[in-house]
Amino acid sequence: MASAPRTKPTLTADQVKALAQDHGFDVCGLADARAPWEAGARLQAFVDAGHHGSMDWMETTLARRSHPTAMWAGARSAIMLGVNYGPDTDPMEALTKPDKAVLSVYAGGDDYHDVIKKKLKAMAGELHRLTGAEVKVFVDTAPLMEKPLAALAGLGWQGKHTNLVSKDYGSWLFLGAILTDLPLAPDQPSLDHCGRCTACLDACPTEAFPAPYQLDARRCISYLTIEHDGPIPRAFRKPMGNRIYGCDDCLAVCPWNKFAQTGKEVRLALRDTLRDLSLSDLAFLDDAAFRTLFAKNPIKRIGVARFLRNVAIGLGNSGQASHVPAARHLSQHENPLVRGAGVWALQQLLPAGDFSALAKTSMAQEENASVRAEWGQTQ
Residue 79 belongs to some domain of the structure:
yes
Residues 166 and 242 in one domain: no
Q: Which of 299 and 36 is assigned the larger pLDDT? A: 299
Note the pLDDT of residue 379.
58
Residues 269 and 361 in one domain: yes
pLDDT band at 48, cuts 50/70/90? Answer: confident
Residue 290, domain extent: 199-375
Residues 224 and 125 in one domain: no
Residues 222 and 362 in one domain: yes
Residues 166 and 212 in one domain: no
Residue 192 belongs to some domain of the structure:
no
At residue 102, φ and ψ (nearest 5 deg) are -105, 120
pLDDT band at 7, cuts 50/70/90? Answer: low
Residue 117 belongs to some domain of the structure:
yes
Bind-site residues for cob(II)alamin: 65, 140, 164, 175, 222, 247-248
99, 140, 168, 192: the catalytic one is 140
Residue 6 belongs to some domain of the structure:
no
Residue 92 belongs to some domain of the structure:
no
Residues 204 and 234 in one domain: yes
pLDDT band at 158, cuts 50/70/90? Answer: very high
Residues 281 and 165 in one domain: no
Bind-site residues for [4Fe-4S] cluster: 194, 197, 200, 204, 220, 247, 250, 254
Residue 4 belongs to some domain of the structure:
no
Note the pLDDT of residue 152.
96
3-state SS of the chain is: CCCCCCCCCCCCHHHHHHHHHHCCCCEEEEEECCCCCCHHHHHHHHHHCCCCCCCHHHHHCHHHHCCHHHHCCCCCEEEEEEEECCCCCCHHHHHHCCCECEECHHHCCCCHHHHHHHHHHHHHHHHHHHHCCCEEEECCCCCCCHHHHHHHCCCCEECCCCCEEECCCECCEEEEEEEECCCCCCCCCCCCCCCCCCHHHHHCCCCCCCECCECCHHHCHHHHHHHCCCCCCHHHHHHHCCEEECCCHHHHCCHHHHHCCCCCCHHHCCCHHHCCCEHHHHCCCCHHHHHHHCCCCHHHHHHHHHHHHHHHHHHHHHCCHHHHHHHHHHHCCCCHHHHHHHHHHHHHHCCHHHHHHHHHHHHHHCCCHHHHHHHCCCC
> Region 354-368: what's the mean pLDDT?
93
> Region 218-237: what's the mean pLDDT?
97
pLDDT tens string 119-145: 999 999 999 999 999 999 998 877 788
Final residue belonging to a domain, choices 180, 215, 237:
180
- CA 301/CA 170 separation, integer angstroms: 27
Final residue belonging to a domain, choices 146, 180, 214:
180
Bind-site residues: 65, 140, 164, 175, 194, 197, 200, 204, 220, 222, 247-248, 250, 254
Residues 250 and 135 in one domain: no
Q: Which of 161 and 377 is assigned the larger pLDDT? A: 161
Residues 29 and 128 in one domain: yes
Residues 208 and 167 in one domain: no
Residues across the chain: 379
* Number of compact structural domains in the chain: 2
Burial of 246 (0-12, 13-18, 19+ CB in 10 A): buried
198: left (phi over 0), alpha (psi -120 to 50) or beta: alpha
Final residue belonging to a domain, choices 180, 214, 240:
180
What is the reported pTM? 0.93
Residues 17 and 161 in one domain: yes
Residue 99 belongs to some domain of the structure:
no
Give yes or no for residue 77 having a pLDDT over 90. yes
Residues 116 and 212 in one domain: no
Residue 94 belongs to some domain of the structure:
no
> Region 71-89: what's the mean pLDDT?
94
pLDDT band at 149, cuts 50/70/90? Answer: very high
Can 140 be counted among the known catalytic residues? yes
